[in-house]
Homo-oligomer: A and B are copies of this chain.
Amino acid sequence: MKVINSADEMQKTAESIRLQGKRIGFVPTMGYLHEGHLSLMRIARKQCDTLVCSIFVNPTQFGPDEDLDRYPRDFDRDERFCREENVDIVFYPSAKEMYPSGFSTYVLVENLGRKLCGISRPTHFRGVTTIVAKLFNLVKPHVAVFGQKDAQQFLILKRMVRDLNFDVDLMMGPIIREKDGLAMSSRNRYLTGRQREQATVLYKSLCTAEEMIAGGEKKAETILEKVKTVITSAPDARIDYVELVDPGNLEPLTVIGDSYLIAVAVYFDKTRLIDNILKTD
C-alpha cells in the first residue's frame, strides 16, 4: 500500500494507472475510519483493479462555529484499517496542498444544497462539492462510493456529476449501524454516556416511520409527527429537522409515493447526528 501526500503525484499516478487500462475505485473519507467506511471500501474493491482511499478533513465543509478543530484524527489507525482492506493507495494531503494561497474557486449545486442540512450548515455542501470535484480530478476514478448516511450529500454529488459531466460512476453503500441501531459516525465519539444511550432515538424514530408506512399510512404530516414524538422522548435530544421529501428535488412531500427520503438531524448538546430512510424507484 502506497501513501501519497502530494496532489501532483496522486494525479500522475492515477493517469498512469488509467493508461494501463486499469479501473480505479475511490472512497473519499475524512478519516477516523469505522465499519461504515470499510463497507464502502469493500463495495469499491469489487468494482476496480486499483482501490484509492483519501483521508482529508476538509476545512471548507465546516462552518465557522463547527467542529473542524476537534474533529477526530488518527492517521496511524486509519492506515492500519486501509491496509487490512487491501487499499492500494491512501491519498493523505495537507490542507495547504489542497487549498493553496489565493484559492478562490468553488463548485456549487444550487437549490439541493440549501435544503435539509443546508439550512443549519449553509456553506457545508459547497465545501463538499468543491473538494469532491478536486479529488475526482486528482484520483481520476472510474467509480466512487459514498455512504447513504449522508443521503443529501449523495444526491447533491449525483447532480454535480451529471451537470458537470464528470466521467465517474457514483455508488451508494447502505448505512452501517451499531448493535443498538445508531448509525456509525466519527462524530458518535463526542457523545457522553447518557447522550449515547439516548441517541438510539434517531433509528427508533425511523423504524416507527417504516412500520407506519408498511401498515398503509401515507400522510407525511402524520408520519412526521410520530417521528418527532419518538425523538423528543429522549430528554436531551433537540431536533434540527425532521423531513419527508422527494429525493429528486428534496422538496417536501405531503403524501408518500414510490420514492421518498425521510431525513432527521438531531442535536445532543453541540453534537449533531443525522440518519435517514431512502426509498427510490
**Chain B residues, Cβ within 8 Å of A107:** 105-108, 133, 164
CB atoms of B7 and A165 under 8 A apart: yes
A195 within 8 A of B: no
**Chain B residues, Cβ within 8 Å of A133:** 107, 164
A111 within 8 A of B: yes
Q: How large is the interface on A (under 10, 10 to 19, 20 to 34, 35 or more residues)?
A: 20 to 34
CB atoms of B103 and A163 under 8 A apart: yes
Binary CB contact string for chain A from 160 to 171 against chain B (1 if under 8 A, 0 otherwise): 101111110000
Highest count of chain B CB atoms <10 Å: which of A18, A129, A164: A164
CB atoms of B100 and A104 under 8 A apart: no
A120 within 8 A of B: no
CB atoms of A167 and B129 under 8 A apart: no
Q: How many monomers of this chain does the complex have?
A: 2
Highest count of chain B CB atoms <10 Å: which of A104, A138, A160, A167: A104
Binary CB contact string for chain A from 111 to 140 against chain B (1 if under 8 A, 0 otherwise): 110000000000000000110011001101
* Least distance between A173 CB and chain B CB atoms (Å): 23
**Chain B residues, Cβ within 8 Å of A21:** 19
A106: contacting residue among B104, B108, B112, CB under 8 A: B108
Q: How far is the CA of A11 from the CA of B166 in the complex (A)?
A: 9
Q: Which of A13-56 contact B (CB under 8 A)?
A: 15, 18-19, 21
Closest to A20 in B: B19
A162: contacting residue among B100, B111, B138, B249, CB under 8 A: B100
CB atoms of A108 and B105 under 8 A apart: yes
**A interface residues with partner B (beta carbon < 8 Å):** 7, 11, 15, 18-19, 21, 100, 102-112, 129-130, 133-134, 137-138, 140, 159-160, 162-167, 249
Would you list 22 pairs from A and B whose C-beta atoms are within 8 A, ordered by A residue?
Answer: A18-B18, A18-B19, A19-B19, A100-B162, A104-B109, A104-B111, A104-B159, A105-B108, A105-B109, A106-B107, A106-B108, A107-B108, A107-B164, A108-B108, A133-B164, A134-B163, A134-B164, A137-B164, A137-B165, A137-B167, A138-B165, A140-B167
Q: A104-B109, A105-B110, A134-B163 are in contact. List 11 more A-B contacts (CB 8 A).
A: A7-B165, A15-B167, A100-B162, A100-B163, A103-B163, A104-B112, A107-B107, A107-B164, A137-B165, A138-B165, A140-B167
